Structure 1
Amino acid sequence: MTYCVGMMLDCGLVMMADTRTNAGMDNISTFRKLFTWEVPGDRVLILMTAGNLATTQAVVSLLDERTKAHGERDPSIYEVPSMFQAARLVADTLRTVIASHADAGQRADTTFNATLILAGQIKGGPVRLFLIYPEGNFIEAGSDTPFFQIGETKYGRPILVRAFDRTMNFERAVKLLLVSFDSTVKANLSVGPPFDLQLYKADSLMLEPKIRIAADAPYYQAISAGWGEALKTALDSLPDFDPCPQV
């Protein structure tokens, strides 16, 4: 399984993905699920993937190949004029890959399903964040829905809904994401570290260095332990249940 979150803040983008994949409990591996393309000063694109590994790897490989195949019919993400057109290109690529697998005798809505998050900025346009479905359609984040999740979303969502604020800085956003990821890891063995983190400062048109957060990273351990203790303290501070309330 997978857990990925993309946040759109006033200061830019915060993207985090786990790296665990499994084909049964005795076949667990680590694979990257966060990918980037960058032309400093012109464009920055960040893609996160969830679903069938063969499908997502094929999509990323096709996008990579098109950036090197000058003069070919298929457009490149380095050539599209806007983030909307980049989302259309990625969506079309995903639909094509799934259809090619379906033509081989499999159902696209089951075995080869995949969902993507695409975010970034192209010179002359704003920062944008998209959720792309396996059917090839997509939606865009806005003021009402400023973040997207894919994969195993339910365990980490409550803290995001309660604590997310578009005005928060990168440091606070990463702290919030680590709490969300830790809650998911504690509840689902198919999600696990290391976590890949990518920050992007709005209008910089240049990616911050990618960070990989290991399971034994001191900061992650402090967040995990601190959040657990904070929950216990909050629970103890609440009034006890009274089986015989006063009328």
Structure 2
Amino acid sequence: MTYCVGLRLNRGLVMMSDTRTNAGFDNFAKTRKMFTWNTPGERLITIMTAGNLATTQALVSLIDERVKAVGDRDPSVLKAPSMFQVARMIGSTLKEVIADSSAYGQRSDMAFQATIILSGQIKGTAPTMFLIYPEGNFIEVSSETPFFQIGETKYGRPILVRAYDEDMSFADAVKLLLVSFDSTVRSNLSVGPPFDLLVYENDTFKPLVDRRIEQEDAVYQSISNGWGDALKAAFERLPSFDLTQPGDRSS
């Protein structure tokens, strides 16, 4: 399983992905799920992947090949005129990879499915983010849906819904993501650190932060422990349920 989140803020974009893969309860490994292509001063494009590992690796390899090749190997995400066109290219490539995974045309709802978060900015257009489905179609981030999650989403979603603010600082956004990821890690063994983090500031066309956060990172450990203590303290401050109150389920 996987957990990846992309946030759109007024200042820019923040992306985080875990790195754990597993093929059974006793077979865990680490692999990168965040990939970036960059033309300095002109564009930055990042994807995060969830789903079948063979599918996502084939997708990234095809994007890489088309970026590095010339002439007849286009289209390339580094030449598309807009992020919408990049989303169309990646959606089409994902659909192609899934279909080619079976001699009979593997359906997107079967074993080779994958989902993608695409984010970035091309000069002359606004930074944005897309959620791309196995069928190749996609939706764009909006004020009503200001963040996307893929993979094991349910455990980390409540904190995002309650605490996200489009005006928050990059530092607070990363803190929010670390709490969301820590909640997921504690609830699902198939998600785990290290976490890959990319922070992008509007109109810079290069990462502001691009780093890996390890399990033993002091800030991560402090946030993890502090969040647990804060939850316990908040729970203790809540009123206890009065068991002496009258009530009858049959009434």
TM-score using structure 1 length: 0.97
The match for 2:127 is 127
Flag structure 1 segments of 5+ consecutive residues without an equivalent. Answer: none
Residue 102 of structure 1 deviates from its aligned partner by 2.7
- Secondary structure at the aligned position of 1:210 is classed as strand
The aligned runs of 1:62-141 (5 Å cut-off) are 62-103=62-103, 106-141=106-141
Deviation readout 1:4-46 (Å, 9 max, x if unpaired): 0000000000000000000101111000000000001100001
- Distance between the aligned counterparts of 1:103 and 1:147, measured in 2? 36
Question: Does residue 241 of structure 1 match 2:228?
Answer: no
Q: Is the 8 A contact 2:95 2:134 kept in 1?
A: yes
Question: Does residue 158 of structure 1 match 2:158?
Answer: yes
The match for 2:33 is 33
- Secondary structure at the aligned position of 2:101 is classed as helix
The aligned runs of 1:7-18 (5 Å cut-off) are 7-18=7-18
Flag structure 2 segments of 5+ consecutive residues without an equivalent. Answer: none
- Secondary structure at the aligned position of 1:203 is classed as coil
- Distance between the aligned counterparts of 2:105 and 2:125, measured in 1? 41
- Distance between the aligned counterparts of 1:72 and 1:164, measured in 2? 44
Q: Is the 8 A contact 1:50 1:56 kept in 2?
A: yes
Residue 104 of structure 1 deviates from its aligned partner by 5.5
Deviation readout 1:156-214 (Å, 9 max, x if unpaired): 00000000001001000000000000000000000000000000001111122411011
The match for 1:211 is 211
Residue 73 of structure 1 deviates from its aligned partner by 4.6
- Distance between the aligned counterparts of 2:67 and 2:106, measured in 1? 29
- Give the share of equivalent positions with the same residue, in percent: 63
Q: Is the 8 A contact 1:49 1:115 kept in 2?
A: yes
Q: Is the 8 A contact 1:101 1:108 kept in 2?
A: no
Q: Is the 8 A contact 2:99 2:106 kept in 1?
A: no
Question: Does residue 59 of structure 1 match 2:59?
Answer: yes
- Secondary structure at the aligned position of 1:103 is classed as coil
TM-score using structure 2 length: 0.96
Q: Is the 8 A contact 2:9 2:167 kept in 1?
A: yes
Cα RMSD, aligned residues only: 1.3
Deviation readout 1:42-61 (Å, 9 max, x if unpaired): 00001000000000000001
Deviation readout 1:79-118 (Å, 9 max, x if unpaired): 1000000000010110000010133675442110100000
Aligned in 2, Cα 1:126/1:106: closer, same or farther, shift over 3 Å?
Answer: closer
The match for 1:191 is 191
- Distance between the aligned counterparts of 1:245 and 1:47, measured in 2? 54
Counterpart of 2:62 in structure 1: which amino acid? L
- Secondary structure at the aligned position of 2:71 is classed as coil
Work out the number of aligned pairs and report it: 247
- Secondary structure at the aligned position of 1:135 is classed as coil
